[in-house]
Amino acid sequence: MSTAAAGAIDHHHDPTTSTGIPNKKLLMWAFLASDCMFFGCLISTHLIYRLHPPPGVPAARQIFSIELTSFSTFILLMSSLMMALAVNAIQKGNLRSMRASILTTILFGSIFLGCQVYEFNNFVYEKHLTITNSILGSTFFTLTGTHGTHVAIGVLWLTLMYVRSFKPSGPEAAKGTWLLLSFVHLIVFAATLVLSMYLVLHFTRAAQASGFSGGTCLSFVGSQYPAILGAITGFLALRWFAQPRGAVDFDQHNAVDVEMMGLYWHFVDIVWIVIFTAVYLLEYIS
């Protein structure tokens, strides 16, 4: 498109729609309205049962680890900043910067998810709060788990967008190797991410069990070397995938796609602020 070459795209106004709002953005707004009701019902369920606790329900304050959750909340908030930077970058046509910001957003989102996995593990095995043994466990795990699922979907979406940004333009696009390459790229990305999270979580557990020392590190490397090698290979492969290979079919015209994803991501963050307040902080009042 000739206008694309001129780089004069107004990212806030689409002249072809009745209102000037891009269709995709409007769709996401309407969806988020729906999601508000969705989380509203879940959070209400938690608060209602909190008001009417049955006898013998465990005290949430003794179970929660507010320091860890505060940390992961902070990380999630920062991921929103990176998401905003990604949108800004692609609106200016700066693909490299957008990729970097998206990767950081993915990283922060994964840290949040890792904290949640750690937290769930800790609650179930050490604090003995399970999804079945009390109403607190039922509402807590369902609510935060649903939110975690939203974050995981967000991470998946970001990953897909990242991989998509390597789709070639021109004659390469018609050949189809890129399609196969994209799928391999996606699978490698997901595998590396999961493997890294696994390693970090296990290392944390090992360090907690026997203190953080050279010996712990060595025995950890000794016992987990296949996973470590896998993760390293994964990172090298991802580095290879990220090499520039000519023109790509991803530019300012895709800004609305990134922005739509960003709206979702910010919304999920805002929901977490509400959950953090209503589920965690509320227990520390008085």
Contacts 24+ apart (CB under 8 A), 256-259: 256/11, 256/22, 256/24, 256/25, 257/24, 257/161, 258/86, 258/87, 258/90, 258/98, 258/161, 259/11, 259/25, 259/87, 259/91
CB of 120 to another protein, least distance (A): 14
7 φ, ψ (degrees, to nearest 5): 70, 20
Total residues at interface with another protein (CB under 8 A): 61
Residue from 253, 278, 281, 282 in contact with another protein (CB under 8 A): 253
Residue among 233, 209, 231 nearest 219 (CA): 209
Kindly state whether residue 52 participates in binding another protein, applying the rule CB under 8 A. Answer: yes
Distance of alpha carbon 21 from alpha carbon 19, whole angstroms: 5
Site for another protein in 17-46 (CB under 8 A): 17-19, 21-24, 26-27, 30-31, 33-35, 37-38, 40-42, 45
Kindly state whether residue 179 participates in binding another protein, applying the rule CB under 8 A. Answer: yes
Kindly state whether residue 149 participates in binding another protein, applying the rule CB under 8 A. Answer: no
Residue from 122, 146, 216, 233 in contact with another protein (CB under 8 A): 146
Distance of alpha carbon 16 from alpha carbon 219, whole angstroms: 63
Kindly state whether residue 160 participates in binding another protein, applying the rule CB under 8 A. Answer: yes
Q: Are 29 and 263 within 8 A, CB to CB?
A: yes
Chain positions contacting another protein, by CB under 8 A: 1, 3-4, 9, 14-19, 21-24, 26-27, 30-31, 33-35, 37-38, 40-42, 45, 48-49, 52-54, 57, 131-135, 137-139, 141-142, 146, 160, 164, 167, 173-176, 178-179, 182-183, 186, 249, 253-254, 256-257
